[in-house]
Structure formats: C-alpha cells, structure tokens
Structure 1
Amino acid sequence: MKTLLSLFLGTTLGITAFCERQKPNFIVFIADDVSWDDFACYGDPNAQTPEIDKLAESGITFTNTYLTASSCSPSRNSIMTGRYPHNTGAAELHTSPPEAMLSMAEVLKQNGYYCGHSGKFHMGDYAHRGFDVIYTSREDVGDGGEKSWVQSLAERPMDKPFFMWFAAYDAHRAWGENEFSGTHNPDEIKVPYYYIDDAETRQDLAHYYDEIKRFDHYIGLCIQELEKQGQLENTFIIVMADNGRAFPAAKTRVNDRGMKTPFVVSWPQNIKRASTCDSLVSVIDIAPTFFELAGAELPEQFQGRSFSALLKKPQQEFRNYVFSEHNWHDYEAHERMVRSKDLLYILNARPNKPQLGPTDSVGSPTHISLVKSQQAGTLTTAQADIFVTPRPREELYDCTSDTEQWLNIASLPDRQNDLAKMRAVLDEWREQTGDTTPATLTPDYYLPEPGYIKTEQHGTRGENPGAARKATEINAPGPF
C-alpha cells in the first residue's frame, strides 16, 4: 500500500508539474517614453529595431492599442492593476495605488507563476508583493534598465511558468552615452513636420533613436536566452511603451501621439504568421488576457477584457471605445479622451493651460528650437500647436481623414451629431467609473520654460480625480 501510495502521489505531482509547464510564459518589454510609430515595423524611417521587427514578422502588429495615461507611473499602474488611472487612486505622476489593490503579478503568482521584475519600477510599494525577484538599482539594471533581463531569465526556477516585467529606462531623457551612441547619423534623420528641422533637433532625435536601438538589442538577447532554454515557442511576448516620446506634441497628450502605444505580440506556438490587427485595444485588457491564458479567474477589480480572440482572428472587431486621461504631470491638467475607430473626442477642464508637455520635453533642444522660431514668428500651425492658449474645451477629430488629429471639427454644423454621441459616451464612462473634476487640482510645479524652475506651489498636492466618489472601490468598466 505504501508503494502504491508513493506511486500515486509521484504520478499526481508529476502531472501537476507537467500542467504547470504547459501554461504559457509571459514577458512584457515596456519602453520608456517611446511613441507608437517609432519602431521600423511601424514604418519609422529613422528607427533601427531589427529584433522587434523579427517578432513582428512572426507575430501580430497591433495598430490601435491605447494607453490610459501618457505619463509614466499612472500608465504603468493602470497596466498592472487593469484599471483606469482615477480608479487606481494613482491618477497623477509619482502616486501609488492603495496597498490592498491587486496587481497582475500577484494574481499570476497565486496561480503558480514565478514573477520577476527588472528595470524601471515607478509603481509604488503596493506592487512589490507580486514579484519573486526585483532588480531596480542602477547597479543591477544599468543606465538603460536592461542589464539584468537575461540574468532574470537564466536564474528563474525551471519547473514553473513565468511572468517577467522587463521595463527599460530607454528612451527616457536625459540621453547618456551607451554602446549604441552615434548609431543614428543626425544628417540622415527625418524630422517630423511639427518640429524645426535644424541641427539641434536632428541631434536630439538621433540620441533618442540610439536609446531605442539599445532597448531593441536587449530584447534580442532575451530571445536568444529563451531559445537556448527551449521556452521561446511557449512564451507570450508583448513589446510596448508607457507613453509617447518626451518631445513636444507627444508625451502627456491625449491624442494618438501621446496615448497610442506600439504593441507587438509574439507567441510562436500559437501565432504562426505575420499579421496586423487594427482593432481597438486598451492596455487594461492585458491582465485579463494573461489570466485567461493562464487558466486564472478574473478578479472583479480588473476593468478590462481578454483580447485572446484576436490572436486567432486579428481582423475581427474587439472594442468600440478606448478611454484615456491626462492628470498632473509637472503641470496642472485634467483632460479626458474617448476614441472610437473613426472619431476622437477630448474634454479639457483646464483649457487655459497650453500643451507644452512635461518638463523633460520643455527643456529639450527640440522645444527650444520651437521657442526660437515662435519668437521669430516663423512657426507653422502644427508647430505652434503646443503654445496655443486658451485651448478649446472640446475637441473632435475625424481619424479616417485626419489621422494625426490636427483639424478640430467640434464646431462644424454637420458634425454636431458625432460630437453629441462621443460626448455622451465619455459622460457615461465618467459616471460609471466614478471620475471627478476636483475644484482644487495639483498645481504647476515648474514654470513653463526650460531649467526646471520651481513655482511657489511646488510640492503641493490637490485632490486626486475620483477621490470624492471613492473610485478605487468602483469596478464598473464603462462602455465597451
């Protein structure tokens, strides 16, 4: 009997271990301050991203995946909790969700996953408990945040499925020297038309693309390690970013230049050929997708839905709407955005504020070149957009004919039905999710000029959006 019992237990444990190994592994490679179309596989002529391009060639390139905030910590907290920023209690930069809030890593760990983090964290202490190992010191992660990625894969227990959150500092300012410095020749850089095409802007962009190159290189090293371990086939990989580039007209904006993220998905075992998915996806849908594929129940806290059906049929529709928000990030702000496949609507509660971007953008050579041209009176309409004040309280864009959202059609008589429809959808989302517009928001911490010059209000915090309605306790997702 003892022998039979031992055989039974051994077989049962063996089956359990086998089943655990069959669960897919998950890796999220998340860049810092990289716009959605700044990889070569998205058509950027400046980018050198061969490793990401290889993943796209055998995976799915999503073209309409949206962040919920174009700001580092609110964006990352939203992904990790599967909740909109005002529902995390951490809608503003440098704030954290409550300790009791679940993280994606914690749920996966409860379901048998080994969870590792390496690189930039920026999510507060609440999320630490979900990870088995965390590398965050500059000594461990290096200037770009990628130094311990391969090590994390090599040191993991080999008898468990794993989830890795590999978060680069690349391409966050300030630019530093690295092994890829000088990869991009400033003279060959194609400058976006809404910047000034001068030597300073070209060099600024060249440094930016050098850091994207480093991010891409370390992804390639991780792929090599996965192949060596025989784990690449069963590893679900996402390559994305937390917000738009730290240049004018991108980071902190709620239009596509700020809120859309690159989103390349690779899973060789289940995605057999290169595909493009144009369906709307929100980053709050990442955690529910992982949970479904891992066989884990979806806690009611998570406001997104699994997009796993798109892996088999990328051409089908998924969401009708995605929602995003812009709250304090160096400067006072309160904007809300809803995007459908064809329309983008913005509600701005602080139209008296220009759209300069955060201080790292305001201090950039690219921004300074725009200021000089503004003083000379030579800016084009697109280049002058960041300085416009007051701004419209409502903006509406036809994304089929105006893909970069420059022509505000909210006041056109023949678009009033579209305006009313999108306004109603956003109002419904705000009501259902408990969003608020506090009378006292966190004020500007810096003057709107280069040099990080502090205001008298520096360090003062206002009321967090959603706090008055206890939005952290509301799980309703709003319109889908």
Structure 2
Amino acid sequence: MKHFFIPILLYLSFYSTVYAQNEKLNIMVFIADDVSWDDLGCYGNTQVKTPNIDKLAKEGLKFDNFYLTASSCSPSRNSIITGRYPHNTGAAELHTSPPMDMVSFPELLRNNKYYSVLAGKFHMGPYAKRGFDVMHEQRIENGDGGEESWVNSLKKRPKNKPFFMWFASYDAHREWGPNKFSGTHQPSQLKPPFYLSDGDETKADLAKYYDEIKRFDFYIGEVVQELKAQKELDNTLIIIMSDNGRPFPHSKTRVNDRGMKTPFVMHWPNGIKNKNVSSKSLISAVDIAPTLLTLVGIESPAQFQGYSFAKLLIDPELDFRNHLFAEHNWHDYEALERMVRNNNYMYILNSRPMQPQNGPADAVGSPSFKELEILKDQGKLSAIQADVFMVPRPYEELYDYSMDPLQLLNVASLPEYAETLKSMRKILNQWMKETSDNIPENLTKDWYLKEAGLIKTEFHNIRGEMPGESLNATKNNAKGAF
C-alpha cells in the first residue's frame, strides 16, 4: 500500500507547485506541416539534420506513440486546438471550418490573462482567431518557410504576462526551395524509405524535403536562444510536433503510422525532471488541450473529448490510453476510413475500398510518385510499393504490432485473428456510435483525376455530406472508449 501512495503524493505535490506558479508558465507549440514522426534525428533518422530539436529531446521528454486524429492539415489542426475528433469539430474534410461556437484551448488561455500569438500557417476557421491577441498569418511577413515572425513575436510580447505562442511553419509542405537551406542534404547520400523508389528523382525529392525540415529546426534554435536571452527558457513548456505525415506516397492521408503518427517532444526544465527519456504510452492529439490546461490550473470544458496526460511528465513509464482513434475523410479525393489502435493491434475500416490510396494531389504530382509509376509500368514494384495503386482494397485491415510494427501484413482474414478482429471492430463501432460518427452515402467526390496531379474533375469545389453532419456531431461531447 505504501508503494501505491508514494507516486500519488509526488504527483499531488508537483501539481500544487505548478498551480501556484500557473500565471508564470509559458507555453510554446512548434507545429510542422507534413513531417512524419521518424523524420527527425531524435526518432532515429540518421539522414536528416535536426540538431536543435534533438537537443531539446535529449533535455526533455519524447513520446514514441503519439497519434494525430487526421493525416490531413486543417482537420488535424482543428482537432488539436479544440481537443475534439475531426467529425465532432464539423470540419472533418480538408479546407472546411468548425462553427463559431467551437472553443479552442488558446481562447481559454487568452481568457485567463495569457498573451497569445500565432505566427505562421493558420489553416483553421474564424472561430480560432478569438484565441490570439496577435496573428502573423501572411506569407509576406512569415517568409517562405513560415518562421520569420517567430523571434520578433517573442521580442515584442508584453513582459508582464505569461505567453502562449503557436509557431506554425509551412515547412515541409510542397513546393520546396530554393532557399538558403537548399543543398543541406545531398541526394546521393540518401536512402529512401523502402516503400518508395530508390531512383535519383526520389532521392532529390527527399533531399529537398529534408532541407525544409532543417529550416524548421534552425528557427526553433533561434527561438530557444531568444528564450535564453530573456531568461524564460526554464519556465517555458516547448512542444514540437507535426500535423500529418510526409507529403509522399504511402504517408500523408494514410491512417497507419506513416500518416498518423507524429513526433512529439516536450521540453520544460522547471517541470520535466527526467531528462532524455521516452514515453511508450498511447496518446492522442485530442489529449493536448486538456493537458495544457491542467498544467496551468484551468478547468477543461465539457467540449474537450481528450484526457490530460500531465502525470506522464512526472513518470513517463505510466500507462495512459488503452485505445487511439483516427479518421481520414476527403482530402482531394473521396475517402472515409476509421482506425483504432491499442498496444497490440491496429484495425482499419475502409468504407471506400474501390478508391486507390495514391495519396493527396501534391504527392501524386511529385517526382517520387512518378518514379513509382515507372516501376509499375516496368512490372518492378515491390508489394509494399504497389500498395498505393491497389484496387479494390480490403474493407477491413488488422495489423499485429508484435510481429509487424510497420503494418505491412494484413491479418484480418486469418482464422487465428478472428476474435481479435471481432473485438477491434466492436470497439471502433462503439466509438463511432458514441461520438455521432457515420458513413454518409453522398460523400464529397474526387476533385482531381486519379494519378494525374492537379487536373480537376467535374466535381471540383462541390461538397457532399460531412461525416457526423446528419447526427449533429458538433454538439456531441462524448469521449468514446479510453
């Protein structure tokens, strides 16, 4: 019994101190655009140059199983700042906006005397603007990569208020370069992921992508130096993450790890005492909002569907979630997929199995996709490379993490997994029902021709029915299975 109470007492003691200091705790979120979890050095990528992020990870806490709720820019960002699943924000599809009565965590911070700034990419609805005192959202002031207002925003803040800063880059969204970071990574020295071609065009494409990540990393370093100069680094919680996977075939818009898993680094010298450690716990992007409010002593509204993982800052080895949920809806092409993951398995439901999963239009128009097409015409694709062209696709997919951490072998049809399949299907169906998710018949159709980049179809700019719309999902605050 004694061993049970010790961590509880430590937890309460720590947070009573945090609450006492809550007006002084600063929060800074760096969010990259289209960067995968394993494209940073601290996550094991030996090819990309990210020394500033790697240093923050070494001095802080890194999360190895942090998942977004959508592998698509605006649905993901709206989900992060509202603490709600995409279909519950009313903006499940790309380039749609939540209603004006939606609440964001920056708004709650601002209402509690935080000075709040957004600098860089916005990509959310008008409701979100209530959360910021100052917004630098024009490319002319943010620069090519979206980072050039960051340091000045920090310099110009009022010094008598705690601050929240949402620093969002355009990096590493296509198109790329040239810029002063071009050439940082040499194509000839790179080895593309196994699901892409090993050709010269893909290597050059990947090098430009890594150059943009390098720029993101550089400006994070500049902001850290300014925090040090202002003597605010120790009392500032820094978060580094992305909104979805890399803009290559097999990644962005997919609901597996390549699309949905994000890097997530937390650095806070006054609050994270265990340095250079990782948490293996399953965590969802909807958990960010309630966690930040917990750390500053603000009560979370009922609208938040996530849970606070603040306890992991004290003990990263604690378990947190039993289940994660994610969704993919229209992003250039008609789609509706749902995913649930626990510690051992990932289950995917695909309601549009006759649609190939080429990736978004920008990835389809890329040199990397074109080299896959060449291999396809030559009959030289590997099984995993061919996946982006496969039609029909499985209606259900099940992956066993114990033997297949990369989600390459769908075991849904194997008899020995029948009970697991049934169980995971039940959990997903329960979550969809409880959170008012559905599968509309009249989804938004393809706006672009398949495998043709940005060539428009007759359905361009025509919206169908949004998932959850007919069930009034924006008014449903149910959290679903945890």
TM-score norm. by structure 1 comes to: 0.95
Distance (whole Å) between structure 2 residues aligned to residue 163 and residue 232 of structure 1: 13
Offset at residue 22 of structure 1 (A): 4.6
Determine if the alignment matches structure 1 residue 387 to structure 2 residue 400: no
Asked if the contact 1:56–1:265 (Cα under 8 Å) also holds between the matched residues in 2, the reply is: yes
Asked if the contact 1:21–1:159 (Cα under 8 Å) also holds between the matched residues in 2, the reply is: no
Distance (whole Å) between structure 2 residues aligned to residue 176 and residue 350 of structure 1: 36
Of the three residues 298, 301, 305, the one matched with 1:299 is 301
Determine if the alignment matches structure 1 residue 208 to structure 2 residue 209: yes
State the secondary structure of the residue aligned to 2:271.
coil
Determine if the alignment matches structure 1 residue 62 to structure 2 residue 63: yes
2:348 maps to: 346
1:282 maps to: 284
Distance (whole Å) between structure 2 residues aligned to residue 62 and residue 281 of structure 1: 8
Asked if the contact 2:23–2:296 (Cα under 8 Å) also holds between the matched residues in 1, the reply is: no
1:311 maps to: 313
> Matched residue pairs, number?
463
Equivalence map 1:77-156=2 (5 Å): 77-156=78-157
- Describe the superposition over 1:402-440 as per-residue Cα deviations: whole angstroms up to 9, x where unpaired: 011010000100001110111011011001000011110
Determine if the alignment matches structure 1 residue 267 to structure 2 residue 265: no
Distance (whole Å) between structure 1 residues aligned to residue 278 and residue 88 of structure 2: 31
Equivalence map 1:249-264=2 (5 Å): 249-264=250-265
Q: Which amino acid aligns with 1:30?
A: I
2:5 maps to: none
Q: Which amino acid aligns with 1:140?
A: E
Distance (whole Å) between structure 1 residues aligned to residue 402 and residue 127 of structure 2: 41
Q: Which amino acid aligns with 1:316?
A: L
Offset at residue 178 of structure 1 (A): 1.4
Offset at residue 24 of structure 1 (A): 1.3
Determine if the alignment matches structure 1 residue 373 to structure 2 residue 363: no
- Describe the superposition over 1:296-333 as per-residue Cα deviations: whole angstroms up to 9, x where unpaired: 11100000011100001001100001100000000000
Q: Which amino acid aligns with 2:247?
A: A
1:473 maps to: 475
Asked if the contact 1:20–1:112 (Cα under 8 Å) also holds between the matched residues in 2, the reply is: no
Distance (whole Å) between structure 2 residues aligned to residue 21 and residue 351 of structure 1: 49
1:12 maps to: none
State the secondary structure of the residue aligned to 2:413.
coil
1:192 maps to: 193
Offset at residue 100 of structure 1 (A): 0.8
State the secondary structure of the residue aligned to 1:431.
helix
2:10 maps to: none
Offset at residue 449 of structure 1 (A): 2.2
- Describe the superposition over 1:203-230 as per-residue Cα deviations: whole angstroms up to 9, x where unpaired: 0000000000000000000000111111
Unpaired runs of at least 5, structure 1: 1-17
Offset at residue 19 of structure 1 (A): 6.4
Determine if the alignment matches structure 1 residue 403 to structure 2 residue 405: yes
Asked if the contact 1:189–1:206 (Cα under 8 Å) also holds between the matched residues in 2, the reply is: yes
Determine if the alignment matches structure 1 residue 445 to structure 2 residue 447: yes
Distance (whole Å) between structure 1 residues aligned to residue 133 and residue 333 of structure 2: 36
Asked if the contact 1:119–1:167 (Cα under 8 Å) also holds between the matched residues in 2, the reply is: yes
Q: Which runs of 4+ in 1 moved over 3 A?
A: 18-23
- Describe the superposition over 1:370-402 as per-residue Cα deviations: whole angstroms up to 9, x where unpaired: 001101101000110110110000000001210
Q: Which amino acid aligns with 2:367?
A: P
- Describe the superposition over 1:170-220 as per-residue Cα deviations: whole angstroms up to 9, x where unpaired: 000001211110000100011111111111000000000000000000000
Q: Which amino acid aligns with 2:291?
A: T
- Per mean C-alpha deviation after superposition, the further-off stretch among 243-252 and 107-116 is 107-116
2:3 maps to: none
1:220 maps to: 221
2:54 maps to: 53
Q: Which amino acid aligns with 2:207?
A: A
Asked if the contact 2:197–2:372 (Cα under 8 Å) also holds between the matched residues in 1, the reply is: yes
Determine if the alignment matches structure 1 residue 428 to structure 2 residue 430: yes
State the secondary structure of the residue aligned to 1:396.
strand
Distance (whole Å) between structure 2 residues aligned to residue 332 and residue 194 of structure 1: 23
Unpaired runs of at least 5, structure 2: 1-18
Distance (whole Å) between structure 2 residues aligned to residue 424 and residue 100 of structure 1: 32
Asked if the contact 2:80–2:288 (Cα under 8 Å) also holds between the matched residues in 1, the reply is: yes
2:325 maps to: 323
Q: Which amino acid aligns with 2:379?
A: G
- Describe the superposition over 1:84-110 as per-residue Cα deviations: whole angstroms up to 9, x where unpaired: 000000000000000011111101111
Asked if the contact 1:20–1:161 (Cα under 8 Å) also holds between the matched residues in 2, the reply is: no
State the secondary structure of the residue aligned to 2:147.
coil
Offset at residue 23 of structure 1 (A): 3.2
Asked if the contact 2:35–2:244 (Cα under 8 Å) also holds between the matched residues in 1, the reply is: yes
Asked if the contact 1:20–1:160 (Cα under 8 Å) also holds between the matched residues in 2, the reply is: no
- Describe the superposition over 1:42-75 as per-residue Cα deviations: whole angstroms up to 9, x where unpaired: 0012110000000000111100000000000000
State the secondary structure of the residue aligned to 2:221.
helix
Distance (whole Å) between structure 1 residues aligned to residue 64 and residue 22 of structure 2: 32
Q: Which amino acid aligns with 1:417?
A: E
Q: Which amino acid aligns with 2:39?
A: D
Of the three residues 336, 339, 348, the one matched with 2:338 is 336
State the secondary structure of the residue aligned to 1:238.
strand
Distance (whole Å) between structure 1 residues aligned to residue 308 and residue 345 of structure 2: 24
1:158 maps to: 159
Distance (whole Å) between structure 1 residues aligned to residue 66 and residue 73 of structure 2: 17
2:170 maps to: 169
Distance (whole Å) between structure 2 residues aligned to residue 341 and residue 160 of structure 1: 41
Distance (whole Å) between structure 2 residues aligned to residue 21 and residue 315 of structure 1: 25
Distance (whole Å) between structure 1 residues aligned to residue 324 and residue 22 of structure 2: 34
Offset at residue 461 of structure 1 (A): 0.3
Asked if the contact 2:244–2:252 (Cα under 8 Å) also holds between the matched residues in 1, the reply is: yes
State the secondary structure of the residue aligned to 2:309.
coil
1:8 maps to: none
Offset at residue 450 of structure 1 (A): 3.2
Distance (whole Å) between structure 2 residues aligned to residue 371 and residue 299 of structure 1: 49
Distance (whole Å) between structure 2 residues aligned to residue 423 and residue 302 of structure 1: 25
TM-score norm. by structure 2 comes to: 0.95
1:414 maps to: 416
State the secondary structure of the residue aligned to 1:397.
strand
CA RMSD in angstroms, aligned pairs only: 1.0
